[in-house]
């Protein structure tokens, strides 16, 4: 994927904006235990913002529909999004409500535990989507996750289909998703845990991931992409399935790896790449992300992805 050959992919993201408060800890504390942490970092995050940043850094033209509070975290988040070239005119400031916050514990093995306080993310409404219709009508892809109200996500997907956009849904954190909504999803991107939660089937390897993905396709999804971390990625379409191995890297922190994959996938598909090439580009971007600490701090720029893993 070379930048100069392509028109930029036009992407609208509906989703969350959080401030991540990250504690590095030797291990997870037990209930009632106070543990000395190794360090503390304040990093811009939120699945929606992360996916928007990934798409922007990787060459997409990105607009974000979201809500933040009228507070320092909100102002700082919007400024950071703008610095990445993201159109934030549809990021609404909500009064009497804090910007979303995630408390993250990251242990020495690279595992994380996360507590979310939705804050302003819970205020995203259908009127926010309506305000973005003009911008959506000029876009190719709508990207959604589930850190904002399900009703607003469903409405955004409906509007996107009416306007002829393709929809990428990352069903995280997992919630019940109506079948008529799944019917409108072109690309469902989810990890092992989310796949298990959606299907009730255990996902332990590529084979079981393919079986679960086929169940999701039967529920009406166009293409199902299951990310398996170090075990690679499984892609199931109407034509069949393929498994692509992961790139080998030293894992420091898996935060935002999935978000980086989603943003990269939208960019590559929006530039007209085939599914296999798009997934490969997304895997390369995600592999770089896990070698760095934090959410948006770990998301690579395009030049870095293009110079890696050749």
**Would the annotation count 227 as a binding residue?**
yes
Q: Does residue 289 have a known ligand-binding role?
A: yes
**Residues assigned a catalytic role:** 259
The verdict on whether residue 47 carries a ligand-binding annotation is yes
Is 229 assigned a ligand-binding role in the annotation?
A: yes
**Structure tokens given for 181:** 């909504």
Q: Is 147 annotated as a binding residue?
A: yes
On whether 298 is known to bind a ligand per the annotation, the reply is yes
234-254: string of b/e by CB count within 10 Å (b at 16+)? bbbbeeebebbebbebeeebb
- Tell me: is residue 48 an annotated ligand-binding position: yes
Cβ within 8 Å of residue 187, ≥6 positions away: 166, 167, 168, 169, 222, 223, 225, 265, 269
Q: Which residues contact 23 (CB under 8 A, 6 or more apart)?
A: 37, 39, 40, 103, 104, 105, 106
* Residue 137 CB-half CA count within 13 A: 4
Consult the annotation and say whether 49 binds a ligand. Answer: yes
Give the count of alpha carbons within 13 A of 34, CB side only.
0
Q: Is 270 annotated as ligand-binding? A: no
Closest C-alpha to 100, from 81, 80, 82, 77 = 77
The verdict on whether residue 253 carries a ligand-binding annotation is yes
Going from the C-alpha of 3 to that of each of 60, 255, 295, 305, the distances in angstroms are: 10, 26, 24, 11
Question: Within 10 A of 229 (CB to CB), how many other CB atoms are there?
Answer: 15
Tell how many helices (H) and how many strands (E) occur in the chain: 11, 13
Q: Is 72 labelled as part of a ligand binding site?
A: no
Residue 230 annotated as part of some ligand binding site: yes
Does the annotation list 191 as a binding residue?
Answer: yes
Annotated binding site: 18-20, 46-50, 147, 191, 227-232, 253, 255, 258-259, 289, 292, 294, 298
Known binding-site positions for K(+): 253, 255, 289, 292, 294, 298
Binding residues for ATP: 191, 227-232, 258-259
- Which residues are documented as binding site for substrate? 18-20, 46-50, 147, 259
């Amino acid at each position: 994927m070379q930048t100069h050959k392509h028109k930029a992919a036009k992407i609208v993201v509906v989703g969350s904006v959080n401030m991540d408060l990250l504690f590095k800890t030797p291990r997870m504390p037990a209930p009632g235990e106070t543990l000395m942490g190794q360090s503390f970092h304040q990093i811009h995050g939120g699945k929606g913002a992360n996916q928007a940043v990934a798409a922007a850094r990787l060459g997409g033209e990105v607009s974000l529909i979201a809500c933040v509070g009228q507070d320092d975290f909100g102002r700082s988040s919007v400024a950071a999004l703008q610095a990445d070239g993201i159109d934030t005119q549809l990021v609404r400031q909500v009064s009497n409500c804090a910007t979303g916050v995630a408390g993250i514990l990251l242990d020495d093995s690279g595992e994380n535990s996360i507590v979310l306080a939705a804050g302003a993310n819970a205020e995203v409404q259908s009127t926010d989507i309506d305000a973005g219709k003009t911008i959506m009508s000029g876009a190719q892809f709508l990207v959604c996750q589930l850190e904002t109200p399900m009703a607003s996500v469903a409405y955004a997907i409906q509007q996107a289909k009416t306007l002829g956009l393709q929809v990428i849904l990352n069903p995280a954190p997992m919630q019940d998703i109506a079948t008529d909504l799944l019917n409108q999803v072109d690309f469902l991107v989810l990890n092992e845990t989310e796949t298990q939660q959606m299907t009730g089937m255990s996902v332990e390897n590529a084979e079981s991931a393919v079986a679960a993905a086929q169940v999701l396709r039967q529920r009406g999804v166009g293409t199902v992409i299951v990310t398996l971390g170090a075990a690679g990625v499984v892609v199931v379409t109407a034509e069949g399935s393929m498994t692509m191995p992961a790139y080998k890297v030293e894992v420091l922190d898996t935060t935002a790896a999935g978000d980086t994959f989603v943003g990269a996938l939208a960019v590559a598909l929006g530039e007209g790449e085939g599914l296999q090439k798009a997934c490969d580009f997304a895997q390369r971007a995600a592999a770089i992300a896990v070698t760095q600490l934090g959410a948006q701090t770990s998301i690579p720029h395009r030049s870095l992805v293009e110079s890696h893993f050749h």
